[in-house]
Amino acid sequence: MISVEEAQQQVLSRISVLEPERVGLLDSLGRVLAEDVVSDIDVSPFDNSAMDGYAVRYVDVRDASEDSPTVLRVVDHIPAGVQPEIVVNPGQAARIMTGAPIPMGADSVVMVEHTRPDTGEGGIGDTVAVLRPVTLGENVRSRGEEVREGQSVLLAGETIGPAAIGLAASVGHAELAVRRRPRVAIVSTGDELVDVAEKPGPGKIRNSNSYSLAAQVVQAGGEPHVLGVARDTEDSTRELLERAPEFDLMITTGGVSMGDFDVVKKVLEEIGELEFWRVAMRPGGPQTFGTIGGTPFFGLPGNPTSTMVGFELFVRPAIRKMAGFTSLVRPRVVATLTHDTRKKADRRYFLRSRLTRGADGGYTVAVSGNQSSALLTAMHRGNCLMSLPEGESFVAAGSEVICIRLDVEEGTA
């Protein structure tokens, strides 16, 4: 048996980042950028107004005040999107909208709130009274002020969120090069499994693991491919396991404990390479890892909770590494345990638990249901795995324990 950390390190040492692919902007959401995004324009692309107001010559209005306003003649009216063709000469101003180009001659913008119509309504041909001075360049966004053509606005390795998508669009990228989503094959094993739509006969149970696993794969950023159920024979198991090289990663559930009909490990040793098969943890000691034709292979235990916990600890970091993420560890918090807990001293426990934040900002934690359940109720009601270390056989109420948050993404502060 190896420790959880040894197993995690051994897994990640076998995982490589996948190649990039080009996808449309919206498809890049949540994925990892594979190359820098370079601007094809200056931003701003031209000197433009940051406010609705009047474009003026700074020297004209530097003495303007409420008591002694400067009166200017309005010679143009410039909406956004229009290239002005009239020059603002001394004693003149142009009505200008936010985002519109600054006309020749003008160098600053007076906010509309700091003006008052003098004759007419402040339109072309009218005069406007400026009530406050401006500084040179005030309310003007200069060309290239934020980004110069050829400069990078996003860097390879960054995760694409809505703001990154907007940024990329602003600088001319309708597609982005991002890391490919890992294609993950899912195989369930066991003669006892029947389909969800079927009512289980005597001795049978429903194959729920392929559904929960597919959902976990989606949440981790992978693309699930449910291949079906292998029966408890070497032939049936080999037939599905041999398909591993068609995918980036393969997961099986069941068939890896010490039962006499557990053939997954046997077939893995025959057609691939076994790296480890026992981890000092509970639930789910029999966590098998190896490769088949170079494809990483995870033989998770068949109990639904053990399957999900094994996925969280070993498969999710592997999928994220393949997808280009560098944060591979879920956030941990320290919480105060609200009840006594007994455990076996020889292994790490991961109790399905619920964290609650108190008014003081501190956390308390309690198990979220029956830990030996065949159902996923405690996993569903929980939001973390309470990690209780090897070497302890009793953890008292009031102890501080480490909790692995399942409700928060890796890399979150």
Site for a copy of itself in 97-126 (CB under 8 A): 97-101, 112
CB within 8 Å of 369: residues ≥ 6 apart: 352, 377, 378, 381, 382
* Residue 207 engages a copy of itself in binding (rule: CB under 8 A): yes
Stretch that binds a copy of itself, among 13-21, 146-154, 292-300, 319-327 (CB under 8 A): 146-154
Residues 375-404 that bind a copy of itself (CB under 8 A): 375-377, 379-380, 383
List the structure tokens of 99. 């985002």
Region label for 271, one of left (φ > 0), alpha (ψ between -120 and 50) or beta (otherwise): alpha
Of 155 and 397, which CB lies nearer to a copy of itself in the complex structure? 155
The pair of structure tokens assigned to 40 is 């094809």
Choices 47-55, 177-185, 287-295, 392-400 (CB under 8 A): range interacting with a copy of itself? 47-55
CA–CA separation, 384 and 405 (whole Å): 4
By beta-carbon proximity to a copy of itself, the closer residue of 241 and 376 is: 376
Q: Closest distance between a copy of itself and the C-beta of residue 410, in Å?
A: 11
* Nearest residue (CB) to a copy of itself, 126 versus 242: 126
Contact 372, 208 (CB under 8 A): no
The DSSP code for 272 is S
Assess contact for 405 and 333: CB atoms under 8 A.
yes
Nearest distance from C-beta of residue 369 to a copy of itself, angstroms: 10
Using CB under 8 A, which residues numbered 62 to 91 contact a copy of itself? 77, 79-83
Other CB atoms within a 10 A radius of the CB of residue 273 amount to 14
- What x-and-dash track marks residues 254-293 binding a copy of itself by CB under 8 A? ---xxxxx--------------------------------
- For a copy of itself, which is the closer residue by CB, 17 or 25? 25
Q: How far is CA 200 from CA 194, 207, 252, in A?
A: 6, 10, 21
b/e burial code for range 145-158 (CB count within 10 A of at least 16 → b): eebeeeeebbebee
Nearest-approach distance from CB 16 to a copy of itself, in angstroms: 26
The residue among 46 and 58 lying less far from a copy of itself, judged by its C-beta, is 46
Q: With H, G, I as helix, E, B as strand and everything else as coil, classify residue 209.
A: helix
Q: What letter would DSSP give residue 299?
A: E
Query: Contacts with a copy of itself in 184-203 (CB under 8 A)?
Result: 190-193, 196-197, 199-200, 202-203
Query: Candidates 13-21, 62-70, 153-161, 393-401 — which segment interacts with a copy of itself by CB under 8 A?
Result: 153-161
Closest to a copy of itself by CB, 120 or 172:
172
Which H or E run includes 4? helix 4-13
Q: Identify the H or E element spanning 237.
A: helix 234-241
Which of 43, 94, 185, 315 lies at the binding interface for a copy of itself (CB under 8 A)?
43
Q: Which is nearer to a copy of itself, 208 or 291 (CB)?
A: 208
Compute the least distance from the CB of residue 39 to a copy of itself, in Å.
Answer: 9
Distance (Å, whole) CA 285 – CA 301: 8
Which two three-digit tokens encode residue 276?
Answer: 């480890």
Binding a copy of itself by CB under 8 A: which of 19, 26, 67, 391?
A: 26
| 338-377 positions binding a copy of itself, by CB under 8 A | 355-357, 361, 363, 370, 372-377
CA 328, 331, 336, 339 dihedral sign is negative
Of positions 227, 230, 300, 308, contacts a copy of itself by CB under 8 A? 308
* 39 CA to centre of own chain: 24
> Between β-strands 400-405 and 384-388, what pairing exists: parallel, antiparallel or unpaired?
antiparallel
Cβ proximity to a copy of itself: between 123 and 389 the closer is: 123
**Of 51 and 292, which has the nearer Cβ to a copy of itself?**
51
Shortest CB 408 distance to a copy of itself, Å = 6
Size of the site for a copy of itself (CB under 8 A): 102
Q: Which letter does DSSP use for residue 132 in this model?
A: S
Tell me whether residue 125 or residue 162 sits nearer to a copy of itself (CB atom): 162
Residue with tokens 């992978």: 222
